[in-house]
Every structure is written in structure tokens, then in C-alpha cells.
Chains A and B, each alone.
Chain A
Amino acid sequence: MAADELPEDQRLKDLSPKSYEHPADRAATAALQQIPMMDTVVRKLIEFGERSIQQQLLAGAVRLGPDQLPEIWASHRAALARLDIDFVPDLYMWQMPFTNAMAIGSKKPMVVLNSGAVSLFDEHEMRTVLGHEAGHILSDHLLYRTALLILLQIGVRPLMRLPFFAGPVSATGRTMLVAGLVLAVMILPIITAVSREVFRQTPKLHEEAALALGATRWEMIRMAVLPFGRSGVVSGAMLGLGRALGETMAVAIVLSVSGAVTVNLVSSGNPSTIAANIALQFPESSGLAVNALIASGLVLFVITLLVNAAARAIVNRRREFSGAN
């Protein structure tokens, strides 16, 4: 029975998916849709992955139609017609022993049947399955399901391909990554202290006015506190950066230095930092080597000078609005 053979009175005209969805499902989908940017991000993701899934199916699965398993194709079209879906998604069957089926894709939905299901089900059972999948399509479940599939496919593999994480991984852990983590822990209190001082100077009246206008606490923070303290936070971060640039002993103790120049954060061959190099070399140096170390100190001094001057410039640019002057 094809779509056009279905009598008009058996079509569920203009069927809204809300009429059959479970309330929890409806609420969850609505909540997901309301998350800002979620829709855009998911659609972008799907654009990347959808074509590859389609190619995979074209290559490795049987596409059903009037000439391939015409009974199932007819059931498919009938199920679609019953739900009043006016386009016909591609129907594929791939070799898979589990009894299952799925609907994927967002711009161009596809229904995929496992061969296990096709060999097990009779016509009526198959039509139930096809109706179920048509329901997914009508409810727009596909968007999120396809995103999930693509995310699973991507996984964490690309991270390992970056040059920063190329092996071989150091056995001692005395790597640039660890030194960076230690420095992060060390400058965290500085950034926290500066930011706290800045936030503290937000006019109490602004905060109370925002709350009185019905803002939630986060909205108050976002609209009253953060704009007020933005330059202070930036300068605090820059001060922390300056401190990390000049930090000596932590790097000297943690990093195992080989002198190699590399961007590999996890291997055992690491370049040193200026400060740590001075601290490690100075006690055993004499003559011209001392002058070289002092020259490298000058370079470090100029770098930190620039960073700190930039921090001050940022604070001064908004001096009248900021408490950090």
C-alpha cells in the first residue's frame, strides 16, 4: 500500500507531535531547545558529520525502494502518510544482527533498519517499527540524536593529534605541562586577591538596585559587578601572568631541562625558562657566563615590564569607572 493509496480519512491531518509525546519528553526537548546557542551549535556539528554518515550508509548499506524489498518500502511510505509527513526519508538496511532500527540526520533524515529486525519481523510488526521511526522524525528528535552520534565518533582522538600532546610521555612527570600547572596554582591566589578587592568596591547601591528590580543573583553579578570590575580583573590576570613569567624556584625544581626547543608539553625533553635557567646556572658560572645570564635577566625584565605596563594601561583606561586605581 503506497502513500497515495492511503484513503484521505486515514491520514492524521496536520498532526502535532505534541499530541503523542510523553510530557517528560516534551519538557526535556523544550528545555534543550531553550538553551542559548544549543540549536546553532548542534546544527553546525551536524553539518560536519551528516554527510559522512550518509556516505557511509550509501557505501555499506542497502537503500530500499520500489525495487528493493518493495513491501517494506510500501509500509514505510504508509507510515509516513498516516502521520501526514509529506516528504519521504531515505530508507536503508544494513547488516546488523541486533533487532533494532533508527532514524538519523537533520537536514535530510534517514531511517536505518538492522537486517536482524527485517528477517525477524512480519509485515505488521515492521510497520509498527517504521511508524515509531516516523514519529521520531516528526518530533525532531533527530537533531539531538545525530549530535550525540557525531560527538561519540569524534571523541577525544583529535586532542592526541595536536603537537602539544605528541608522545613519548615522560615517565617522571617533570614536564612543561606539570610546570605550567604548578605556576597556575601559584598565581591563582594573586588573581583571586586582586579580583576580590575590585569586586568589593562595586557600589552597594548598584547591587541592591539590580536585586530590587527582580534580577537573580547571577544577573546582578553579570550586570552590576562584572562590568564594574572588568578592568581590575584583566589587570589582576596580567599581574598573575607577570608573576608566572618571573617565577624561578618552582620551575627549577619541577622541570627537567634538556635544552631542546620543543612545543611538546608531555615529553621528557624540555626547554628551560629564563628565570629557572639563571637560578640553575648562576652558582656554577664565572666570567662571561655571568654576563650572559645577566643579559637574559634583562630580557626577562623587559618582558615583564611590558606585561605589567599593559596591565596598568588597561586599568588606567577605565580609571574613573574602576575601583582598581
Chain B
Amino acid sequence: MSTGTEETRTAAEAEAIAALPSVARRQARLPEWAPWAILAGSAVVVGGGALMFGRGIGLAVAATAVVFALLTYLASRIVEGARKATDRLATILVTTALLLAMAPLVSVIATVLANGIARFDAQFFTYSMRGVVGEGGGAYHAIVGTLLITAIAAVMSIPVGLLTAVHLVEYGKGRLARSITFFVDVMTGIPSIVAGLFAFALFALFFGPGVRMGFMGSVALSVLMIPVVVRSTEEMLKIVPNELREAAYALGVPKWRTILKVVLPTSIAGIASGITLAVARVIGETAPLLIAVGITTGVNLNPFDSRMATLPVFSYYSYVAPGVPREPFLDRAWTAALVLIIIVMVLNLLARVIARLFAPKGSR
């Protein structure tokens, strides 16, 4: 009896011992520093080699990444097993993709900063281009024009977009709501130049061909802006809990008052930040303004009369059709681009601040 148990135990132990290496191997892990060591090694050997043979920095980085991924995969495969190795490979691929995506974005900002900082001075913000031939001058007229046209576009599209979204969420049922949703979705992807052509064709009906005015640009921009406002507002209204509405109805509050006093205040933070982002989206549009508004050298504060200058179009024309000498024009083009980027960045930050300030109390 006892011999039997002893025998089984030894058999089990033997089995356990036989299984031990594979168990140990499965649980084995690469040390923390191993990927870094492999990265450093492949960077020195492969990247350094590529650089030494004059193959350029890009190839060096790419070759290093490939060798690093392969070596880590193999090392992990041998030490940790197949699943861990695939996990590591996926991590490396994902990180590489992130870096690859970041490179051009960082490069854009760096280039615009480096080229635009030269003319980022007081004169740029206070002078127009009237009578300026070479050096000097500024984009005062373009900045004013951009702000004016965008403001009119916002004034036109925010009420329309907001009320459309309210209709879709609170009232919309059946075919009408479905078709509105579909067209809003489709209009979100409409090419901006088509919006410009639309505004031009519309105004040409009334004022004849060859008409250019700031208001026309506002109409084109609001065509682009309304669907964005509708989409973001709709998303925000959808996440207002139904219990709030039902509580209001139960207290006998009419529907319009519920919407005005309960639904909108609850979601005002998200709506406001969505609208700000929509403004940021259209303020940099070049193509519709190029068609609808054109360009001029002087300040024009009347959006219903003749051409106006806008920052994107100003930057575009300074870049593709510089005068003689070229350098002042190119400098102004870069600075205009820098100002645009700063405006968009400020609007984005503003959206975050608004979202935080207006957030309903007690919900976070």
C-alpha cells in the first residue's frame, strides 16, 4: 500500500520534473532592459553602419527599426514563447506607426515656426498691403477679413445647426429625420471648393457673374460649418440622460421649456466646445474664399461690397504669386500661416476651457 503511494508519488514527481523546463520556459521573461539594449545595439550597429556608408538618416532610422523589431521578436520567441513575442512585435509596430504619424505633424509646426517668426512683429498686425511693393507691409486687412467672414458664418450656422440638432434628437421621427441625418452626414465630407462654387452660383443668380463679396464667403463657410455643428450638438444632446427629461415631464413642464431649461444647460459644455471646434475647422479654409471673396490689398470692412482679404488666401497668393523681390512675400506668407495655426490652436484650447467651465455641477 505504502509502496504503491510512494511509487505514484515518485512517478508524479518525475512527471513534474520532466514538465519543469517547459513550465520554466513559459514563465521566463526578458529582463526589463532587454528591448532597450536591443534598440541601442541595433541603432549603433545598423544605423551607424548606414550612416557610415552615407545612406542618409532616413534609411538609418528605418533599418534600425526593422532590425530592432526582428531581433526583439526572435529573442522574445526563444525566451518567452510565441504569444508574448507577437505581443511585443505588435507593440513595436504600433509605436513605430505613432512616431511615423507624429514626424510630419511636428515637422509642419517646426517649419512654419522657423519660417514665420521672421515677420511675426507689430507691423504685421497693424499694416495692410496697400501701396506696399517690397519689404514691410502686413496682414491687418487679412486678419480683419478672416475674423469678420468667420464671425458672420458662425452667426448664420450656429442657430441653424443647433436647432436642427434639437429637432433630430427631441422631435425627429420617421423619414424626414432619417433623410436629414443622412444628408448632414454626407455634407460633412463635402469638398470645400464645391461649397465655394455653390455660393458663387447662388450669388451670380442675383448679382450677375463676376460678383465677389465677403458675405458670399460667409455663406460658403456656413455650408461647411452647419453639418459639423449639427453632428457635434446631436452627439452631445444624445448623451443627456432620459431620466432628466422624464422628471421634467412628470412635473408638468412643457416640452420646449424642458429643452430650454434642462436639456440644453446639461449639455451646454459639449455643445459650446463642439461649436468652437467647428469654427476652428472653417477658419482655415482657403478654397471657397478664393472663389467667393478673392483678394485685395486694402482694408475692406463692408462684407456686402467687393473683395476682401482673408488670411488663408493672403498666404496662398503671397506664396504662389510673389512679387519682385520674392523674399518679403514668402516671409509674409509663412507668418500668415503661423498666425492661422495660432488662431486654430487658441480656438482648440478655448474649446477645452469651455468644456471644463460649463460642465454641469456634480456630473464629474
Contact = CB atoms under 8 A, between A and B. Distances in A.
Contacts of A185: 104-105, 108
A224 interface: no
Interface in B187-239: 188-194, 197, 200-201, 209-210
Given A294-B197, A307-B189, A34 B101 contact: no
A31 B89 CA distance: 14
Contacts of B286: 248-249, 279
Contacts of B132: none
B316 A249 contact: yes
Given A31-B77, A218-B87, A300 B291 contact: no
Nearest to B212: A283
A155 to B, nearest CB: 16
Given A239-B189, A286-B210, A307-B189, A312 B182 contact: yes
Given A243-B189, A286-B210, A308-B185, A300 B194 contact: yes
For chain A, the bracket of interface size reads 35 or more
Interface string A20-44: 0000000110010010000000000
Interface in B65-109: 74, 77-78, 82-84, 86-87, 89-91, 101, 104-105, 108
A293 interface: yes
Interface of B: 74, 77-78, 82-84, 86-87, 89-91, 101, 104-105, 108, 182, 185-186, 188-194, 197, 200-201, 209-210, 286-287, 290-291, 294, 312, 316, 319-320
A274 to B, nearest CB: 8
Per DSSP, chain A at the interface is helix
A278 B108 CA distance: 26
Most buried by B among A34, A243, A248, A279: A248
Contacts of B82: 34
A189 interface: yes
Most buried by B among A185, A245, A279, A305: A279
A88 interface: no
Nearest to A191: B101
Nearest to B210: A286
Contact of A301 (B91, B104, B191): B191
A189 B348 CA distance: 15
18 contacts: A192-B101, A216-B84, A219-B83, A246-B191, A248-B286, A249-B312, A252-B316, A275-B191, A275-B287, A279-B193, A282-B291, A283-B291, A304-B190, A307-B189, A308-B185, A308-B189, A309-B186, A312-B186
A219 B77 CA distance: 16
A248 B216 CA distance: 19
Given A278-B291, A293-B197, A294-B197, A304 B78 contact: no
Interface in A305-325: 305, 307-309, 311-312
B170 to A, nearest CB: 18
A221 interface: yes
B342 to A, nearest CB: 18
Interface string A103-136: 0000000000000000000000000000000000
A239 B89 CA distance: 29
A243 B224 CA distance: 12
A290 interface: yes
Given A185-B104, A308-B186, A279 B191 contact: no
B91 A218 contact: yes
Nearest to B74: A31
B189 A278 contact: no
A142 B29 CA distance: 32
A245 B191 contact: yes
Contacts of B210: 286
A246 B210 CA distance: 24
A297 interface: yes
B78 A31 contact: yes
A283 B290 contact: yes
